[in-house]
Chains A and B, each alone.
Chain A
Amino acid sequence: MSVPAIDVRGLRYTYPDGTPALRGVDFQLAAGESVALLGANGSGKTTFLLHMAGLLRGDGEVRIGGVTLEEETLSAIRRSVGYVFQDSDDQLFMPTVLEDVAFGPLHRGVDGVESIRRARETLATLGISHLEDRAPYHLSAGEKKRASLAGVLVMNPDVLIFDEPTTFLDPPGQNELARLLMELPQAKLIATHDVYFARKVSGRAVFFAAGRIAGDGPVEVIADRFHWRLS
């Protein structure tokens, strides 16, 4: 049996102000599998995702690719997890798109020339080579999302995490993003409110409610069970 891409047991987290965000989450994601995280605002989806990249540390066990998340393994785990944030403006902080995409490899010890080469290659793969010298704040929402994705894919992670990836995207942009995601071979965790998007990019969904996983199964079944559709 292959090692799960993500294996979480009894994960609990309480924010410093005393708000409990995760109340004992058990979850597994197989290598190459794609799972949508559904649930209301404040149900714990983003908090859960932040734990997967070691950006928050709660009680319980988180294993990424068989490696337990702890201080000593943090760097290796962040190398294998790519996190695409909800707001692309958080993620694009360098003066040009090319520099931003090269940021990850550069800060993981790859030399400048190779980082730039990899960044250009990734931009070409995503069809946005023409944006490389553009300032991120001049891009459209769709372009920003692609540039953010490039900044993560350039590091060739084993697990991809998307927090509300369709935010700010128009329907063609959402379709394009869904097509891109389906082509990616990595295991994917996608927090979204959009059931249609979830159905497109993943077969399985877990439903978060009050910091717990309240349901786990096929997207359609979960959406019906929790009445998670526009009426």
Chain B
Amino acid sequence: MRDRVGKSLRLEEWARRDSFLHRRDARVKVVSVLLFLVAVSSTPPSSPAAFLPMSVLLAFGLLVSGLPVFALLARACVIVPFPLFFGFVSWMENGNAQFAGALVARSYVSALSVLLLVGVTPLPALFGGMRGLGVPAVLVMVLQSLVRYLRVIVDHGSRMRRAALCRDAGVLPRRNRQSLWRRASGAMAVLFGRSYARAEGVHRAMVARGFRGDFVSARPTRITTPDWWYLAVTGLAVLGARYLALVGQ
């Protein structure tokens, strides 16, 4: 759990680095990733190779970002079990392994592109960018609260785990799994109770300092000429990759 906290926080630290991608306006980055996702999702999953052009494009983005490539690739694996399950079911039904592989490839490439976006865009800028693109304030606020709440839960979870390890967790015989599950579910209930209390505390602190339901960014941004160029080049590259995927089929 503690490692997971570290990983999620590290992603935020990466977002504060400096690279060509980091310097781009959040709005153009969001639009370019949306274009990419549309291209990926509209590519028929005939085989994993269909996503090769998009993968190459993404690899280029990863290199330009200056982020630790293997760490990002590993994080994107979080998504794999879900398409793997559906791919497996589909394979069992149709016997088409290519299709199953394509499902996994599509999900992985999509997840990686979103991770890259988060890795090169600080969250406040990202949320500000979404607002700038006309995403409803309520939705952005829910997302902000979710992020904050997740951090609270993970933080509490790591403390509770440490406390449990200091006492008896880990020395229970393996066969006593029923008892372990019962206690784990109890701990989850406590975790959510505590997290709720913490979330309330955070909300109070925000309200006490003038928060009225809408985050204001300290650094209002404007789209510069390099941002427009970036958007144009990325858009063309995505279209090109989509075309190649079509031709390849």
Binding site for B on A (CB under 8 A): 50, 53, 55, 75, 78-79, 81, 83, 85, 87, 89-91, 93-96, 99, 102-104, 106-108, 112, 115-116, 133, 135, 137, 151-152, 155
Contact = CB atoms under 8 A, between A and B. Distances in A.
Interface of B: 9, 12-13, 16, 122-124, 148, 155, 198, 201-202, 204-212, 216-220
Contacts of A116: 218-219
Given A90-B202, A93-B205, A78 B210 contact: yes
B143 to A, nearest CB: 15
A50 B204 contact: yes
Contacts of A94: 124
Given A50-B204, A91-B202, 13 more contacts: A55-B204, A55-B208, A85-B208, A87-B201, A90-B204, A93-B148, A95-B123, A103-B209, A103-B210, A104-B210, A106-B217, A107-B211, A137-B155
Contacts, number: 75
Contacts of A96: 16
Q: Which label, helix, strand, loop or mixed, suits the secondary structure of the B interface?
A: helix
B218 A95 contact: no
A43 to B, nearest CB: 19
Contact of A99 (B124, B205, B209): B124
A106 B211 CA distance: 9
Contacts of A81: 208
Contacts of A89: 155, 198
A219 to B, nearest CB: 27
A53 B219 CA distance: 28
Contacts of A152: 209
Given A94-B124, A95-B124, A112-B219, A104 B204 contact: no
